[in-house]
Structure 1
Amino acid sequence: MDLEKPAAEARQPERQPEGCLVVAIRLPVRIVVLVLVVPVRMVWDGLVAGWRLLTDAVLRPLGRALAWVARAVLVWPFVGLWRYVVVPLGKALGWLGNVLVVVPLVWLFRHVLTPLGQGILWVFRGIGAGLGWLYARVLTPAGHGALWALRGLGAAIAAVGTGVYGVTVWLVRYLVVVPARWLYEWVLTPVGKAIAWCVQGLAWLVAMGVTGIGFVLHWVLRLLLVLPALALWRWVLVPVGRVLAVIGREVATALGHAWRIAGHISLTVGRFLGTLFRWVFVEPVRWAYRTVLTPVGHFVRDAVLRPAAEAARSVGRVTRQTLAAARDSARQARADFRRMLFGETRAEQPKAVPVPRREPGSADGRTLGSSTTALTKD
């Protein structure tokens, strides 16, 4: 065990040492932040609970009702219009378009335009055949002869042009090129080299002047701006920034701890208020409902409401029977009065009862051995 304990302790991450400034800042900051955060967290939890109650009790049912109203007002009329008006009207228009446009156009294309196009195509084929014969028999030989003549003329023009080109090239060489080359080699090249040397010297002078000015400005700016700014950054801003970072980190950590602690406090207060509300309001109301209102309601139901309902049903039953008897009496009186004035109608006359025949219904004659005689009948 003693051998394993140092190894386990060695595996634990080492905490970085904290300075006295951190320890001195942490406790006051956490106390102040906790005092400031607890009311905010309680207000936040109250707002969240109120928003959830409002959402569950008001907004969600209201949204469902509005969605149903919107569906009933906007969606269903358009669906009915599309299904029972637009679709049948579109089908009717499609059928009319097919009958009035497509079928006549198909008939026109098949029986008018197709024969006309075939005739025009036959005519163009004949014209093309004639033009082909003209090209092969007339234009081709004429073109060959004209090409032979042009080739001879071109050869003569080429010979004359070759002579003229040779003379022109010799004149240009000795009158233009040779003087221009001499002028370039002995006049322009020395002048250009002298100008380039002067420009290089001037550029060197300007570069040296700019370099010196830049060196002086560099050291002036370094001494007046860079070194003071570096010293300010190294000896003022960095320590202040580290202190502010420590304070900010501790404030953020304190805010996190305070927010969690405030949550527990808010939960405890909320549970206490809920329990207090239940014992002060809900439980007395429940006790009064169970102990007082329920027995009173049962007594009122059994002693008052049910007998009253039975009496009301009996009165209604007697009233209905009385009204039915009165209606039957009035109907009978009207029928008797009408029979007395106009006599019995055909529908009211008693129907004649058919008398059974005494004779047999068969076509065979009666014999002595049969039971169809009058003496042997029942």
Structure 2
Amino acid sequence: MDLQKQPVQPPAAPARPEGCLVVAIRLPVRIVVLVLVVPVRMVWDALVVAGRFLKDAVFRPLGRALVWLGRVLFVLPLIGLWRYVVVPAAKALAWLGNVLLVIPLVWLHQYLLTPLGHALARLARGTGAVLAWLYARVLTPLGHATLWLLRHLFVVPARWLYDGILAPVGRALAWCARGVGRLLGLLVTGLGTAAYWIVRILLVLPVLALWRWVLAPVGRFLAVLAREVGEALGHAWRIAGRISLAVGRFLGALFRWIFVEPVRWVYRTVLAPVGRLVRDAVLRPVAEAARSVGRTARQALAAARETARQTRADVRRMLFGEPRKREAVSRGEPQALVTRTLDSSTTALTKD
């Protein structure tokens, strides 16, 4: 028993019935589009083949050569400039800046600005104490007196004026403004309703009728035409691709049977046997003869060289006699000590 529920496949949407207008438009459009698209597709395929050939035979080697040239002319000089000029110059400037700026500034901050700052802080603390005493003993009583005078001279009369005169007058003006606003609202509502119906009757209903009975049918017709043209272009592009492929294969087969196969047949039946015959009958014997001649010449040269050497040695002995043998010269180096064995009777007492 299968415990897992199988996913429910949604029902396929029923195919929409096509009208006679769609069928009448489709066939002529596809014929015209196919006639127009086939040359374009063949030209496109030819351009693609030419582009691939140019990429493999021209652009890729040219790009590699340009990359190598750019590396030789720009990258390596820039690396050398950075490594042997900029970096040493930057290190020298950093050392110079440290000696000329950092160390003097540190000394100035430590031995001049810091003591001066401490002195100014002490002076500011003393000034703050004087100002606090002045605020507490002088400014605060003066402020309280000024506040009392302002309250009795300005605030109390202003509050009495607001409560007794300005508030009643403001309420009366607000009541009059609300009445005028209601009147204007009724007037604007009536004018808006009249303008709405005028615009609806004169503009909206004609535009709606134009859209429903003229523009919508024309738009649907144009949509059907555009859809059919798009489908015809896709169909024609695929058919043109197959036609272009067939034409390309035919031209390739024709080129192979006209040029490649005859050349292959000539090479296989004529040039290859002739080449093997020439190699076996001419080139190999000539190479063997050349090698034997070379060996003979090398042996003759070696024998002549040895004879000349012996002759020079005989002439030298006849003229100058036998050469003196070189005597061994002591270089002051310690000679190796003879190791004492059991058979040796030499001791420290019997040694000369």
Please indicate the TM-score interval, normalised by the length of the shorter structure.
0.5 to 0.7
TM (normalized to structure 1)?
A: 0.59
1:331-357 alpha-carbon deviations (Å, 9 max, x no partner): 333333333333332369xxxxxxxxx
Specify the alignment match of 1:27 in structure 2. 27
Decide whether aligned partners of structure 1 residues 176 and 64 sit closer, same or farther in structure 2, where only a CA change above 3 A counts: closer
Specify the alignment match of 1:307 in structure 2. 285
SS in 2 for 1:16: coil
CA shift for structure 1 position 328: 2.6
CA shift for structure 1 position 246: 0.3
**Distance in 2 between the 1:190 and 1:363 partners?**
151
Decide whether aligned partners of structure 1 residues 347 and 288 sit closer, same or farther in structure 2, where only a CA change above 3 A counts: farther
CA shift for structure 1 position 69: 6.2
SS in 1 for 2:301: helix
**Distance in 1 between the 2:344 and 2:228 partners?**
129
**Distance in 1 between the 2:265 and 2:325 partners?**
73
Counterpart among 161, 181, 206 of residue 228 in structure 1: 206
Specify the alignment match of 1:38 in structure 2. 38
Question: Is 2:18 the partner of 1:18?
Answer: yes
**Distance in 2 between the 1:52 and 1:320 partners?**
56
CA shift for structure 1 position 237: 1.6
Decide whether aligned partners of structure 1 residues 182 and 64 sit closer, same or farther in structure 2, where only a CA change above 3 A counts: closer
Decide whether aligned partners of structure 1 residues 322 and 78 sit closer, same or farther in structure 2, where only a CA change above 3 A counts: farther
CA shift for structure 1 position 258: 0.9
Specify the alignment match of 2:192 in structure 1. 214
CA shift for structure 1 position 13: 5.3
**Distance in 2 between the 1:297 and 1:273 partners?**
32
SS in 1 for 2:29: helix
CA shift for structure 1 position 270: 1.1
1:289-334 alpha-carbon deviations (Å, 9 max, x no partner): 0000001101111122112212222222222223223323333333
**Distance in 1 between the 2:323 and 2:72 partners?**
57
Structure-to-structure mapping, 1:260-299, within 5 angstroms? 260-299=238-277
Aligned residue pairs: how many? 273
CA shift for structure 1 position 244: 0.8
Question: Is 2:155 the partner of 1:194?
Answer: no
SS in 2 for 1:346: coil
Question: Is 2:44 the partner of 1:53?
Answer: no
Question: Is 2:312 the partner of 1:334?
Answer: yes
**Distance in 1 between the 2:325 and 2:247 partners?**
90
Show structure 1 runs of 5+ residues with no match: 1-10, 98-153, 349-361, 365-378
1:48-93 alpha-carbon deviations (Å, 9 max, x no partner): 222233333444455455556666777789999999x89xx99xx9
Structure-to-structure mapping, 1:138-153, within 5 angstroms? none
**Distance in 1 between the 2:319 and 2:198 partners?**
142
Give the partner amino acid of 2:16. Answer: Q
Decide whether aligned partners of structure 1 residues 14 and 207 sit closer, same or farther in structure 2, where only a CA change above 3 A counts: closer
**Distance in 2 between the 1:306 and 1:80 partners?**
55
**Distance in 2 between the 1:80 and 1:272 partners?**
58
**Distance in 2 between the 1:337 and 1:64 partners?**
67
Decide whether aligned partners of structure 1 residues 185 and 65 sit closer, same or farther in structure 2, where only a CA change above 3 A counts: closer
CA shift for structure 1 position 283: 0.5
Structure-to-structure mapping, 1:61-80, within 5 angstroms? 61-64=61-64
TM (normalized to structure 2)?
A: 0.62
| Higher mean C-alpha deviation, range 242-251 or range 59-68 | 59-68
CA shift for structure 1 position 263: 1.3
1:198-244 alpha-carbon deviations (Å, 9 max, x no partner): 32233334334433443343334333432332222222221111011
Show structure 2 runs of 5+ residues with no match: 1-10, 96-136, 327-342, 346-352
Identity between Structure 1 and Structure 2 (%):
67
**Distance in 1 between the 2:344 and 2:163 partners?**
160
1:259-295 alpha-carbon deviations (Å, 9 max, x no partner): 1111111111111111111111111000000000001
**Distance in 2 between the 1:203 and 1:363 partners?**
149
Bigger-Rg structure (1/2): 1
Decide whether aligned partners of structure 1 residues 47 and 181 sit closer, same or farther in structure 2, where only a CA change above 3 A counts: closer
**Distance in 1 between the 2:44 and 2:17 partners?**
37
**Distance in 2 between the 1:39 and 1:246 partners?**
26
Decide whether aligned partners of structure 1 residues 196 and 74 sit closer, same or farther in structure 2, where only a CA change above 3 A counts: closer
**Distance in 2 between the 1:337 and 1:245 partners?**
117
Decide whether aligned partners of structure 1 residues 297 and 256 sit closer, same or farther in structure 2, where only a CA change above 3 A counts: same
Decide whether aligned partners of structure 1 residues 172 and 264 sit closer, same or farther in structure 2, where only a CA change above 3 A counts: closer
CA shift for structure 1 position 42: 1.4
**What is the RMSD computed on CA atoms of the aligned residues?**
4.3
**Distance in 1 between the 2:294 and 2:79 partners?**
49
**Distance in 1 between the 2:187 and 2:176 partners?**
17
Decide whether aligned partners of structure 1 residues 49 and 317 sit closer, same or farther in structure 2, where only a CA change above 3 A counts: same
